[in-house]
Amino acid sequence: MKNKFYQYIQDLQNSITSGLEAIDGKAIFQEDIWKRPEGGGGRTRVIENGNVFEKGGVNISGVHGKLPDSMQKYFGVEDADFFACGLSLVLHPKNPMVPTVHANWRYFEMYDKEGNIVDQWFGGGQDLTPYYLFDEDAKHFHTTCKTACDKHNPEFYPKYKARCDEYFYNTHRNEGRGIGGLFFDYCKASEEMSMQKWYNFVTQVGDSFLEAYVPIVEKRKDLKYTKEQRDWQEIRRGRYVEFNLVHDKGTLFGLKTNGRIESILMSLPPHVQWVYNHHPEAGSEEERLINVLQNPKDWV
């Protein structure tokens, strides 16, 4: 399973980066192959200063070795080894009318002293963070997520949509990071779902990513915007940074397992503002966005 999924994310990285380069029309992804001293490595691809994408990364990694003490305590195990692989992406467009997007699909195995698998699971999801809210874009993104889920189980979309709203939430701000999508974790074998079935589901979601995001980018990338709208985008990007550094489990896992800092922090946008006690004008589009972030909607 680990070899099959690692091959899948390598292929997916190629198709996603090619698709994004085609939309941008100017910038191309620069590639970094890196190795982790304790075992494994990855392939980081970053795009910067493009026509459409100000900064973005589409990274894959496959790492293994002894589970660090901090993570052994977290999982309640002793002397465990692990293997983890996944694809993680974040795209920060230049135009504030185009939403930021994040996605991640991952697989994890844990082993006993003899090398037997004692636990394994999939996780992942994809979510959208707009700066200006176009309802039709939100509906398109969520409809694509639901279509991928419904091919496997009609209960998946409402369950994983709710988990996404709950997970990508800045509790210290009492607002969502964005308008959500899907979030699933610890997807383990059961009577209903074998690991192969979970693989089929996770790869279906991965394959739906470009379909969920690209039409939105195409529709919004050439819209005009003002300096004030760009300022608002940068203020909202600050909230994105806050979530990633305070709450995000993937970031924290990477930092605790001696992960590659440049790859972990590629999700941070290049231009951000923190304005003291900032509140949008009453009745404005900016305020409408905040209201939705504080009260997640059912888009489908």
Q: Which residues are catalytic?
A: 102
Contact assessment for residue 58 and residue 16, using Cβ atoms and an 8 Å cutoff: yes
Whole-number Cα distances in Å, 13 to 58, 103, 164, 215, 243: 7, 12, 23, 19, 25
Rounded to whole angstroms, the Cα distance separating 206 from 202 reads: 6
The two tokens of residue 113 are 């002293």
Contact assessment for residue 161 and residue 148, using Cβ atoms and an 8 Å cutoff: no
The two tokens of residue 151 are 């091919």
The alpha-helical segments, DSSP class H, found in the chain are 2-24, 69-75, 135-150, 156-167, 195-207, 209-220, 227-246, 249-256, 261-264, 285-294
In 3D space, the residue among 131, 130, 161 whose CA is nearest the CA of residue 143 turns out to be 161
The backbone region for 98, taken as left when phi is positive above 0, alpha when psi lies in -120 to 50, beta otherwise, is: beta
